Amino acid sequence: MTHGTSAALVIGKLRGMFARFGIPKQLVSDGGPPLTSSEFELFLKRNGVQHVLTAPYHPASNGAAENAVKTIKKVMKKATVDGVSIETALNKFLLQYHNSTHSSTQKEPAVAMFGRRLRTRLDQLRAPSTAQCVEAAQQRQVAYAGGVQREFAPGDSVLIKNYSKTGNNWKEAIVSERTGSVTYKVTDKVGQEKQNTKHVDQMIANKQKRFSWAVGVGGNSTPDAMSSPTVNRNGSEIAERSSVSQSQPGTSPSQSVTTAVSPSESAGSPSEPAASPSQPAVPPTTSTTSSTGTSTYTTPRLRQRTKRFNYKLI
């Protein structure tokens, strides 16, 4: 920091004060050489500040400034006696002074200048304000909700909710830009390109392996979306019964052989041991249909299971 009493240094200090608090209407000073120079007078004239000079050898003419100087000198003397930094002592004093009610105006200097009190450590004892209570409640709601906040970048491929009565519930789109914390502008890829504003709750990432996306309109499934295995009550997976119709050579088109195979029947139930390698496996039920009639061959084990199944239905 440069020290001195030249007009240029005084003007520099005043520019800093004007930047913080604005340009005043009137400036009261004594008749010192830097304050009566032509450079200083030109600076005040350009900024529209009225300059008032006090009478020489009469400090009471500028009593407010002299009283402030006296108070500051007391603070500096006390800081020197206590061995505390003068700058720290002045900053603490000014913070309390700006929040103290003035005897003449009956207002705090901070309230008169900024329209509000300055926050100090004593404000921690006050009850939280309405805005603080609302902010704390919102933070608790976010913490209790959990999950992961979804975000998209421009150029990402997404599925947007389709509210029209025609078409699928979701349609493909491309993120154009982010317009807010939870809103995006997307470009529709189906048909004519059209930009819409969507909320993040109306968008999902476009993943090609989605089951609902793999199944086409009318139930046409892709090879990746074939029927999945069924889970029984015990939690183990069992395959559904598959019916295979084959035409044997030498037969007419009206004659075919249908074979029904179940994994649980070929491997045996948990209560019954599986067939050993030396014993042949139980053949499945074979039904031959022809133009003359139907012949059915049922093994005793399958016949017994059929009776149990009919008993449960009854």
The pLDDT, as a whole number, for residue 193 is 63
pTM here?
0.41
What's the average model confidence in pLDDT over 143-162? 84
pLDDT at 294 over 60: no
Q: Which domains does the chain have, with CATH numbers?
A: 7-100 (3.30.420.10), 101-145 (no CATH), 157-214 (2.30.30)
The pLDDT, as a whole number, for residue 62 is 82
The pLDDT, as a whole number, for residue 75 is 93
Q: What is the DSSP string of the chain?
A: ------HHHHHHHHHHHHHHH---SEEEE---TTTSSHHHHHHHHHTT-EEEEPPTT-GGGGHHHHHHHHHHHHHHHHHHHHT--HHHHHHHHHHHHHTSPPTTTSS-HHHHHHSSPPP-GGGGGSPPPHHHHHHHHHHHHHHHH-S------TT-EEEEE--SSSS-SEEEEEEEEE-SSSEEEEEE-SSS--EEEEEGGGEEE--TT-HHHHB-GGG-B-GGGPPPPEE-TTS-EEPPPEEEEEPPTTS-TT-EEEEEE-HHHHH--TTSPPPPTTSPPPPPPEEEE-SS-EEEE--HHHHHHHHHHHHHH-
Give pLDDT tens digits for 163-220: 888 888 888 899 988 988 889 999 887 555 677 888 988 898 887 655 555 444 444 4
Give pLDDT tens digits for 241-282: 434 344 444 444 444 444 444 444 444 444 444 444 445 555
The pLDDT, as a whole number, for residue 151 is 86
More confident of the two residues 51 and 66: 51
